[in-house]
Amino acid sequence: MLRVGMLTSGGDCQALNATMRGVAKTLYQSKEKVEIYGFLEGYRGLMYGNFRRMKPQDFSGILTIGGTILGTSRTPFKMINEPDENGLNKVEAMKKTYRDLNLDALVVLGGNGSLKTANLLANEGLNVIGLPKTIDNDVWGTDVTFGFQSAIDVATNAIDMIHTTAASHGRVFVVEVMGHKVGWLTLYAGMASGADIILIPEIPYDINKVIGALKERTKAGKGFSIVAVAEGAISKEVADLPKKEKKAELAARAAKYPSVAYEVSAAILEHGGQEVRVTVPGHMQRGGAPCAYDRVLSSRLGAAAGELILKRDFGHLVCMVNGETTPVPLSEIAGKLKVIEPDCSMIREAKAMGICFGD
């Protein structure tokens, strides 16, 4: 009997269900007798023993459904070794649930924080397989994460629709795209939708350069402009501050503006003199059915994870590298963030087309 636990942790995204389906179908297709236990609400389910015994039909018809049938929650890694409100040792509680169910493997679908916890559990002796989930595409070791392309499609569609109203009224639109620490989603959606200015965390912006680029477009007879800004974008002035002062400055900004898009908008309005509007697609970018690309990607990653389980080859994150599913040790990816290099070819090519990054 092969007994496998499965959980989805952290922020939701498209293709979580499709990935679990890929794992389950691969296990059920084997000659082994298989039991799958789904933990509810991420690591919380593993901590508190909240799970349900899954059946093959539970994984039927979920390929195209967004979100997660198991539910999810955020369990910050920095607090994983702290007792809960009732004094429970979280790590020991998770290990106990795993052993009480006599599991042979635990499959964790998650992003950076969730995968750090997965690596911790692997170091504690659990048989863990990780799968790279996030719309941010910032998981180290894999070329792409599932959920990323679907989010690109949503964000691109949002900016596409802004174009017509921006053109009709001759306005500057600042569209805020998800991404606190990295700008992959903003970069891809911005290029795909023809944004004129793209602001990402990896390239701190000079607001004067942004305003200058907008004025140049006006001089060239361009009646409107689109600014795609990542929610984690930061100005050069703030980026250059010492850590403590930077934290204080960001707190002050949060007290004054709902988000960075509103700060950028206010600066453009004050110094550029153009009419500005802000659009924040927000959690729409996480929602809806996965796109065709993500359905294929997640099915492949899930199947590869199932094959590793059947071979009893644990302690890996299943990655996509150069078009091939590849197991990478969790120890190699835990705690690492895949960021955009400011001098990468994609940035150079975007600049060659006239896109401004505020630097």
Is 136 labeled as catalytic in the residue annotation?
A: yes
Q: How far apart are CA 245 and CA 255, in angstroms?
A: 15
The answer to whether the beta carbons of residues 161 and 191 sit under 8 Å apart is: no
What tokens appear for 271 in the block?
Answer: 């110094």
φ, ψ (nearest 5 deg) of residue 304: -65, -35
SS (H, E, C) the chain: CEEEEEEECCCCCCCHHHHHHHHHHHHHHCCCCEEEEEECCCHHHHHHCCEEEECHHHHCCCCCCCCCCCCCCCCCHHHCCCCCCCCCCHHHHHHHHHHHCCCCEEEEEECHHHHHHHHHHHHCCCCEEEEEECCCCCECCCCCCECHHHHHHHHHHHHHHHHHHHHHHCCEEEEEECCCCCCHHHHHHHHHHCCCEEECCCCCECHHHHHHHHHHHHHCCCCCEEEEEECCCCEHHHHCCCHHHHHHHHHHHHHHCCCHHHHHHHHHHHHHCCCEEEECCHHHHHCCCCCHHHHHHHHHHHHHHHHHHHCCCCCEEEEEECCEEEEEEHHHHCCCECCCCCCCHHHHHHHHCCCECCC
- 12, 136, 153, 294: which one is catalytic? 136
CB 75 within 8 A of CB 9: yes
Task: Please list the active-site residues.
Answer: 136
